[in-house]
Amino acid sequence: MNPWIYIGLKSTDKFLAVCKYRRVDEKSTRLALEAISTVFEVEVEELIGKRRLQHIAEARHAYCYILHSTTRLSLRGIADPILRHHATVINSVKIAERLIEIDGQYRDRVRRALVLFKSAQNKNEVFKNNR
């Protein structure tokens, strides 16, 4: 990933730059980010950003889990839009699977985000945050 393309860009612009630079499926990643943002009550910029607060990290884990389990995107295709490495996606999927087994509240949030993601994907629409 070329670090020079990000200088002076906001997080959302970085997302678009990465999608175009890496030829990532922008629609699926955008829908997943919006679904996670809505259910976990975290801004998309925070998901893309570097903060490691627990609620943001758990939302990122859910994002990786949903895209990994429902799409045919490569690990790099999942990682690039949130400015992470493919190994981070592998770890995030493992953590999300463990959290789903242990934490009922997290499991319900992931299910709601998954339903929201699939319904938006079927309708071919990008939705606004409906909190």
pLDDT (tens digit, 9 = 90+) per residue, 66-119? 999 999 899 998 998 898 999 999 999 999 999 999 999 999 999 999 999 999
Mean pLDDT of 24-46: 91
Long-range contacts of 46-53, Cβ-Cβ distance < 8 Å, separation of 24 or more: 47/82, 48/11, 48/12, 48/14, 48/15, 48/81, 48/82, 48/83, 49/11, 50/83
Model confidence band, residue 131 (pLDDT cutoffs 50, 70, 90): very low
Model confidence band, residue 121 (pLDDT cutoffs 50, 70, 90): confident
What's the CA gap between 14 and 80, in Å, rounded? 10
pLDDT (tens digit, 9 = 90+) per residue, 3-23? 445 556 666 666 666 666 555
Q: Of residues 21 and 59, which shows the higher confidence score?
A: 59
Architecture of domain 23-123: Orthogonal Bundle (1.10)
Structure tokens at 19: 């999608």
pTM value surpassing 0.85: no
